[in-house]
Structure 1
Amino acid sequence: MSTFLQFHLLTTYGPSNPNRDDQGRPKQAMVGGSPRLRMSSQSVKRALRESAFFELDLQGNMGIRTKRLFEKLVEHLDAQGVPGDVASEAAAQVAEIFGKLEAPNKADGNRVASTLAFVSPEEWRLAEDLAGKIVAGEDMPKEKDLKKLVLRHADGAVDIAMFGRMLAADADFNRDAAVQVAHAITTHTAQAEEDWFSAVDDLNKAEDTGAGHLGETAFGSGVYYQYVCVNADLLVDNLDGDRDLAAKGAEALARAIAQTSPRGKQNSFAHHPRAHYVLAEKGTQAPRDLSGAFFSPIREQPILDSSVASLVRTRDDIDEAYGQAWDADCIMHVGVGGTLDEIVLFAGDAVRDA
């Protein structure tokens, strides 16, 4: 039986554009028949992985997502004095463990993979060691057994353990995500707006009129609901049974989701929001999100307080109908009570006790 750690957050964003669509506008969604602003789960996970909380608290336990393993292996071998052709051949043999390589670049002979590979620190070290053994002329096993020298089902990469990976080259070494991240949506009706702007040429002569540059950019604003679900047992399994590291990862996640956001257009809008309301739950019951609280868009002012009230009411209603979906909870409500440190401790303990 799995233990689930669930987070429900409400965060206010002023005018900003943290996650853009293909036209540079804030991403949107129709929810309950009304337009909302949206941040994709992919953008949120990227922001979490790049946050200072992950970078500092989980240093040495973060994977790298890249198509450029071949290039880095060549650089590694080159630094050891391996001739270029030999280094390229060995690097190609190892890099193809993670995915098919494209044809060499005509200009420099570099090769990139056709798909991104999520490589853990341990796998990266093993890849470098294997490349060195190939250069040294050691006998190598066949392709299937060769992969087993590098690829791992579980190790110390917390971000891979959390968000999973898919290896097109070998599905046997895929990893199921222990952390599910929903798309964040505004709790109320919201649409993107357009900002027309101009820039002045500092050296423009007084007799010359007009702007040096004209442009436009899109932005939006709102209260976002974010849901995150952690399968604590799977997180521990993905980290090869290291419960302390899994708990450390859950603590970093709890800090990051309350204080981190996608960085689109951040220099233009300076959005640095922090969650106003965080509800953390743990239990062995089947997880459930509370997005239904906002299918009818919040209209009552103040929007933020009404959003909290709708979330709490929906939670109570679901629990009454289905039975309580949690064994313990922890709440931080800015201006009312609770602290982020309490949420972080709660998250860590939920994983330690799983």
Structure 2
Amino acid sequence: MTTFIQLHMLTAYPAANLNRDDTGAPKTVVLGGSTRLRISSQSLKRAWRKSDLFEEALAGHIGTRTGRIGREAAKILLDSGINKKDAIAWAKSIAECFGKPKTEKEKDKDPLIETETEQLAHVSPVEMEAVTTLAQKLAMENRAPTADELELLRHDRMAVDIALFGRMLASKPAYNIEAACQVAHAFGVGETVVEDDFFTAVDDLRNESDDAGAGHLGETGFGAALFYTYVCIDRDLLTQNLNNDMDLVNRTLRALTETALKVSPTGKQNSFASRAYASWTLAEKGTDQPRSLAAAFYSPINGTNQIDTAVTRITQLRQNMNQVYGQQSECIDFNADQGKGSLVAVLDFICS
């Protein structure tokens, strides 16, 4: 039986624009007939995996998502004195290991453009190291890579963020990794009114006697909400993806959980300083089929005491679902708003 770990979090953000749409406004979703603020799962995962907390906990085990692997190899070859034509050709063959190289349409503007891939590839540290080592070897021996040397992808020593969030390589499906962690879009538990902040900037060197007007005018959208975030982790798949390295599995689980509870998306942080820790979290562990508890908030929570009401609703829904479906998953929670429970206890529960 598969062991699932589920995290349910409530995080309160005041005025914020953490995740923007194509117009620059905060992303939203209509739920239960009312508009809510939304933070995409992509935004959350990006913020978590690039955070100092995550990187410090798992240094040396975090991958790189890029389309410039071949370009990096080309730089090594060119810096070593290999002529440009050969350097580009050899680097392009390296890039082809990870995806389809870009076309030559912009070749005149940037000769190295064809060493980049059209799609981003998520590569592990050992794979990046293999690319660097191969480029250095080719430069030293002044020759093209062999077919065997271009087998640069690996299953061993997998990066933790690839193990968690997966990767898809259309040209090399044997090296695809199924994601062990699923992250839902976070949404506000109450109805949202997206507002516009009209702002001005003053030119410090402009004399008021000459022109009392502002040096710049602008506006930006924002909103405030208590967000519900749901994360589901297939512990067995994570263990498989990390080649049964149990120490690394537990370090990954602890780092991901703490990061999800503490790290905010980076959108408009300089404008709003909208950083927050989760006010409440519930962690579940067991072999029952996982399920979100988002249904607790289809009817929006408006007015005061949003956190207390949200906790009551989600707790009651979980109890009702367990009763109806006969589920037996263990759980633990903490409530920072009331000073009950602790982060350490949740982390220990997840990894036990």
TM > 0.5 between the two? yes
> Who is 2:60 aligned against?
60
Deviations 1:262-285 (A, max 9, x none): 110000000110100011111011
**2:315 counterpart (301, 312, 318):** 312
Aligned to 2:112, the other structure's residue is in SS state: coil
Structure 1 pair 79–348 and aligned structure 2 pair: CA distance change class (3 A): farther
Conservation of the 8 A alpha-carbon contact between 2:9 and 2:229: yes
Conservation of the 8 A alpha-carbon contact between 2:188 and 2:226: yes
> Who is 2:251 aligned against?
248
Conservation of the 8 A alpha-carbon contact between 1:17 and 1:264: yes
Conservation of the 8 A alpha-carbon contact between 1:121 and 1:157: yes
Q: Are residues 1:115 and 2:100 paired?
A: no
Conservation of the 8 A alpha-carbon contact between 1:155 and 1:238: no
Aligned to 1:118, the other structure's residue is in SS state: strand
> Who is 1:329 aligned against?
331
Aligned to 2:282, the other structure's residue is in SS state: strand
Structure 1 pair 306–94 and aligned structure 2 pair: CA distance change class (3 A): same
Q: Are residues 1:292 and 2:304 paired?
A: no
Alignment of 1:92-171 (within 5 A): 92-104=92-104, 105-111=107-113, 112-132=116-136, 136=141, 137=143, 140-141=146-147, 149-171=151-173
Aligned to 1:13, the other structure's residue is in SS state: strand
Residue 348 of structure 1: how far off its partner (Å): 2.5
- 1:43 corresponds to which letter in structure 2? S
Distance 1:222 1:174 in 2: 37
Distance 1:279 1:34 in 2: 25
> Who is 1:352 aligned against?
none
Distance 1:97 1:126 in 2: 12
Q: Are residues 1:268 and 2:271 paired?
A: yes
Paired-residue identity, %: 43
Residue 172 of structure 1: how far off its partner (Å): 2.1
Distance 1:165 1:325 in 2: 32
Distance 2:146 2:216 in 1: 61
**1:185 counterpart (172, 184, 187):** 187
Structure 1 pair 66–319 and aligned structure 2 pair: CA distance change class (3 A): same
Aligned to 2:126, the other structure's residue is in SS state: helix
Residue 204 of structure 1: how far off its partner (Å): 2.6
- Superposition misfits of 4+ residues, deviation over 6 angstroms: none
- 1:127 corresponds to which letter in structure 2? V
Distance 1:79 1:206 in 2: 54
**1:234 counterpart (225, 232, 237):** 237
Give the TM-score, by structure 2 length.
Answer: 0.93
> Who is 2:281 aligned against?
278
Structure 1 pair 230–209 and aligned structure 2 pair: CA distance change class (3 A): same
Residue 125 of structure 1: how far off its partner (Å): 1.8
Deviations 1:271-313 (A, max 9, x none): 1101000111110111111000001111353111111111101
> Who is 1:42 aligned against?
42
Distance 2:202 2:248 in 1: 53
* Greater CA drift, 16-25 or 46-55: 46-55
Conservation of the 8 A alpha-carbon contact between 1:287 and 1:325: no
Unaligned runs of 5+ in 2: none
